[in-house]
Structure 1
Amino acid sequence: MKIRVTAACTAVALAAGVLLTGCGSSGDGDTDAADSGPVSLTYWAWAPGLDKAAAVWNEKHPEIKVTVQKQASGDDLVTKIITAAKAHKAPDLIQAEYQALPTMISNDILADISDEVGGSKKDFPDGLWQQVTLGSDAVYALPQDSGPLMFYYRQDLFEQYGLKVPTTWDEFAETARAVKKADPSRSLTTFSATDPGLFAGLAQQAGARWWTTEGETWKVALSDDATTKVADFWGGLVKEGAVDNQPMYTPAWNKALNTGKQIAWVSAVWAPGVLSSVAPDTKGKWAMAPLPQWTAGEQTTGSWGGSTTAVSTDSKHKEAAAKFATWLNTDPEALSVLVKEGGIYPAATAAQSGDVLTTPEFFANQPDFYATAAQISQTTSPAAWGPNVNVAYQSFKDAFGKAAKDKADFGSALTAMQDATVADLKKQGFEVGE
């Protein structure tokens, strides 16, 4: 059986809920001694405001100095981290997206900080805590911010066309058809084949678990029943022309939002910032509601975006790094800086309903915006990420991009995504089950 040692450690840890001896770095034993005196920590991150939060920390904790080094985000950062870790030069602290954690763990980059931060579980929603533990007793990071999905709509145009806010996906489809019937030049929304993160969140809401482990074997289920249901739903709407098929974050898409040619958007809690930038003429005309449900009466959502604070196995100061990570993501003053300077939606439950968040200026007509968002956040379904999310996401862009453009069946695109992801795992030396 061909399987790398780090891959085996990850798979067994995830499945059995234990961290195997020998899976950590050789430097772990130096932690207590290194933390006995003043230390300096390096933090690789991309989000704005983290340097200002570190400045607050440094003023109050002269014994532990944190220096933030700004980095690129996404796959670029993951690649840089892996390269640095191979040379045992990874930073002490890493801002890591949730979906990147398994890749870093399988490359033995992230330290288990359960002894240092295990008591913080109570501070975060269960669905987010599951993503930093990957279902095991080990803790690989602390949640920093999150992106629960919700439904945004032009309140004025819904009233103009006599539309009701959809509470189920069946109602969503009927609303999309009603918009086209009332005004063929408008669309309820678009399916964007350039945004796999949104598709992943929608599948997550439907109950998908794309990567799981059994013993030392990874299982990939990108084409499971839940994901197939989501793909068929959106593929059907695109094929019949009930929704648009143009990608998001383009000049054409921006214009459609700003002129009311697209009157709704399935997005995350950070959407107000985007709308204020791309659709400035629509200020005060939008409202937010929970995501439509697959079964009437249920309340669950997925997530799109969000990041964590992790400690590397190369760090000689694991205890100090974990202390800073805990402060950064649970202390009210730290979270206030992150919200005001970085515009994040904090993962910590207390910060989601406290005084840290103020109603987005673009949604001044909805003063309970964050109170509603906090309720939605608590219903986030657990996500299940694997060591090659980047491959799955690229395959989504390739296969779904062509299918959406051609208004073709999404089923074959989903199969292509599954096959590419499985093939890559095998190529990397992972044991992959059927």
Structure 2
Amino acid sequence: MTSLFDPRGRFSLSRRSLLRGAAAGAALPLASRLLPTPAFAAQKYAGESINLLIIQPHALTGKKIAEDFEAATGAKVNVTAAPYDQVGVKATLDHQSGANEFDVVDYYYAYKGQLAEDGVIRDVTDWIERDKAEIEPDDLIPTIYDTYTLHKGRRYGLPYDGDSHLLFYNRELFDRYGLKPPATWDEYTDNAKAITEAESKNGVYGAAILGAKIPIILISTFANRLTGFGGQFVNADGSSALDSDAAVGALESLVKSAPYALPTPLETAFDQGLPAFLGGKAAQIEFWTDLGGYAQDPKGSQIVDKWGVARIPLGGANKTPRLAFNAGFAFGVTGGSKKPEIAWELIKFATGRKYHGELASLTGSGIDPFRQSSLNSPEFKAFQPQVQPLLADGALEHSLALPTTANAPKLESALIDELALALAGSKSPEAAIKDAHAAWTQIIEG
């Protein structure tokens, strides 16, 4: 889903490659078995080549896609990996400069509106209709399909990585202190407090809160609480929905739990939080669903058979559990591609039913389900027996999404500034939400 950054926002590691420190493991490599490839006319594109721009955490699967696509079609795929927050900028500069080096881009769903309106990604609505027998759009989880690709009634790609958080917890620590998986955010904080007060002297904390000032990290952490409290980012008319008790309650809950988390939340990104959880040093962590595979892999986990997973907790008066789209990526044909037909064939190949099903059930791929068939397959159920039931009962159908309009990057920047101030104790949650709402209103109304 995303790359790793140090507390200053600089690229460090892929969250789906190296797990260091407390995890006491080396790399978690993509499984070596070969994936079956879809049926293509033998070497249909022999001698051709295209360029794929992909986020760093998808580099392993990008390499595999390149190998498998070349074996199936003869076309060489040159893969360029970049940190997630630089892919959109890199693709835009490539397009605006006229270089048009890239043919396919792995884009973050929240930025689809900006990329579409800038002509960086191509409208593929008609191609989807033409090729729907291959694509099988009815198999795509509708909310993911629309959130990731639909802009003003037209589609600009196909989903590649479905991304939502669940709450993972250390059963051994919970059992030691007679705790239960939290159903509410207050219970989450109580759990964190109990474990931290008893175990911090041993370097063990009640939670790892991913609070580094990076949109995909801190905003995802806030989104989990916002959805738990029953809130929204925007209203049906596109106006800011941050002026709500739910938004204030969500941020108050985050600030309340921060003292009992791995020090310090504002400096905790993937490369601090994930090894701490896998090393038994953090009792709770909100994380992408593929963590279930990593937690059971003895190559990088010290908590094999000692962990559990639950839905994102509720807050306030809300009684309806709901997930959030914490990141999420799609493949799009670039607006300036010189070989759009081959680029489209690559996208269909990489996102197809069988190929996606294989990737979703491989440790190290970092690819989470976006197809009903993959989510409900025997292979995924066996691979993620604890996670699968929490996703398969409609949880993804009503997930909270970030704004995806052309001004989404500006909205994210304004929100993360306020969230960070509140988490640092420099501003009250109520004041931070008030100021974020004002900034959003000004941006939206232009």
User: Normalization by structure 1: what TM-score?
Assistant: 0.73
Is the 8 Å Cα contact of residues 95 and 309 (structure 1) preserved in structure 2? yes
- Whole-Å Cα distance in 2 between the matches of residues 54 and 378 of structure 1? 30
Structure 2 residue 210 is the aligned partner of structure 1 residue 201: no
AA partner of residue 344 (structure 1): I
**Residue pair 1:207, 1:381 contacting (<8 A) in 2 also:** no
Match of 1:315 in 2: 337
1:42, CA displacement in angstroms?
A: 2.6
Q: Does 1:103 align with 2:123?
A: no
> Which amino acid in structure 2 is aligned with residue 93 of structure 1?
V
The AA in structure 1 aligned to 2:309 is M
Give 2:406's aligned amino acid: P
Report the counterpart of residue 290 of structure 2 in structure 1: 270
1:85 aligns to what SS in structure 2? helix
**Mapping of residues 167-246 of structure 1, within 5 Å:** 167-179=183-195, 187-194=205-212, 195-199=217-221, 201-202=223-224, 203-204=226-227, 206=229, 208-210=231-233, 219-238=239-258, 241=259, 243=261, 245-246=264-265
Are the counterparts in 2 of residues 154 and 264 from structure 1 also a CA contact under 8 Å?
A: yes
User: Which of 271, 279, 286 pairs up with 2:307?
Assistant: 286
In structure 2, do the counterparts of structure 1 residues 387 and 135 end up closer, same or farther at CA, with 3 Å as the change threshold?
closer
Q: How do 1:337-352 residues align onto structure 2 when only pairs under 5 Å count?
A: 337=359, 340=362, 342-352=365-375
CA distance in structure 1 between the partners assigned to 2:232 and 2:378 by the alignment: 35
* 1:221-244 deviation line (CA, Å, top 9, x unaligned): 455554333112222334xx4555
Equivalent residue, structure 1, for 2:70: 58
| Aligned pair partner of 1:325 in 340, 347, 351 | 347
- Could you list the per-position Cα deviations for residues 284-315 of structure 1 after superposition, in whole angstroms to 9, with x for gaps in the alignment? 31111222234675332112232111112223
The equivalent of 2:154 in structure 1 is: 138
Per the alignment, residue 412 of structure 1 pairs with: 431
The question of whether the paired residues in 1 share the 8 Å contact of 2:312 and 2:323 is answered with: yes
From 86, 99, 102, the equivalent of 1:89 is 99
What is the CA-CA distance between 1:354 and the residue it aligns to? 1.8
Alignment match of 2:52 (pick from 43, 59, 66): 43
How far apart are the structure 2 equivalents of 1:415 and 1:274? 39
Q: Counterpart of 1:49 in 2: which secondary structure? A: helix
Please provide the CA RMSD for this pair.
3.7
Query: Which of 128, 139, 152 is 1:123 aligned to?
Result: 139
Matched residue of 1:266: which SS? strand
Local SS of the residue matching 1:151 = strand
Equivalents in 1 of 2:330, 2:339: separation in Å? 18
How many pairs were matched up?
A: 380
Letter in 1 for 2:91: I
Which shows bigger deviation, 148-157 or 255-264? 255-264
Q: What residue in structure 2 maps to residue 370 of structure 1? A: 388
SS in 2 for 1:236: helix
Shift of 1:95: 0.7
Q: Report the AA paired with residue 53 of structure 1.
A: I
- The 2-side partners of 1:168 and 1:152 are apart by 14
| Distance change >3 Å, CA 199–CA 391, structure 1 → 2 | farther
Partner of 1:381: 399
Quick check: 2:167–2:310 contact (8 Å CA) kept in 1?
Answer: yes
Return the match for 1:302 from 324, 334, 345.
Answer: 324
Letter in 1 for 2:63: D
Please list the CA deviations of residues 330-382 of structure 1 after superposition, one character each: whole Å capped at 9, or x if unmatched.
2313542575363322322211222554756xxxxx74433444446534514
Show structure 2 runs of 5+ residues with no match: 1-43
The one-letter amino acid of 1:325's match is I
| Aligned partners of 1:197 and 1:305 also within 8 Å | no
2:106/2:332 contact within 8 Å kept: yes
Q: Is the 8 A contact 2:333 2:344 kept in 1?
A: yes
Determine the C-alpha separation between the residues in 1 that align with 2:250 and 2:150. Answer: 24
The residue identity in structure 2 corresponding to 1:346 is P
Structure 1: give runs of 5+ residues left out of the alignment. Answer: 1-35, 361-365, 426-431
Paired amino acid for 1:410: P
Whole-angstrom distance in 1 between the partners of 2:94 and 2:64: 25
Pairwise CA distance, 1:113: 1.0
* TM-score, normalised by the number of residues in structure 2: 0.72
Distance 1:331 1:259, change over 3 A: closer
Q: 1:384-419, CA deviations, whole angstroms, 9 ceiling, x for partnerless residues?
A: 323344444445554433432337522333344445
SS of 1:298 mapped into structure 2: coil
Asked if 1 retains the 8 angstrom alpha-carbon contact of 2:120 and 2:336, the reply is: yes
Residue 50 of structure 2 aligns with an amino acid whose one-letter code is L
Q: Where does residue 420 of structure 2 map in the other structure? A: 401
Would the alpha carbon gap of residues 302 and 287 (structure 1) be closer, same or farther in structure 2, given more than 3 Å must change? same
CA distance in 2, matches of 1:52, 1:148: 24
User: Residues 239-283 of structure 1, C-alpha deviation per residue, up to 9 Å, x if partnerless?
Assistant: xx4555533248865675366453111222133466669973333
Q: 2 CA distance for matches of 1:68 and 1:356?
A: 30
Instruction: Indicate how the Cα distance of structure 1 residues 102 and 220 shifts in structure 2: closer, same or farther if over 3 A, else same.
Output: farther
User: CA distance change for structure 1 residues 213 and 141 in 2, over 3 Å: closer, same or farther?
Assistant: farther
Task: Specify the alignment match of 2:125 in structure 1.
Answer: 114
Structure 2 CA distance for aligned equivalents of residues 254 and 371 of structure 1:
23
Instruction: Note the alpha carbon deviations across 1:195-246, whole angstroms, 9 max, x for none.
Output: 22423532356555535796xxx644455554333112222334xx455553
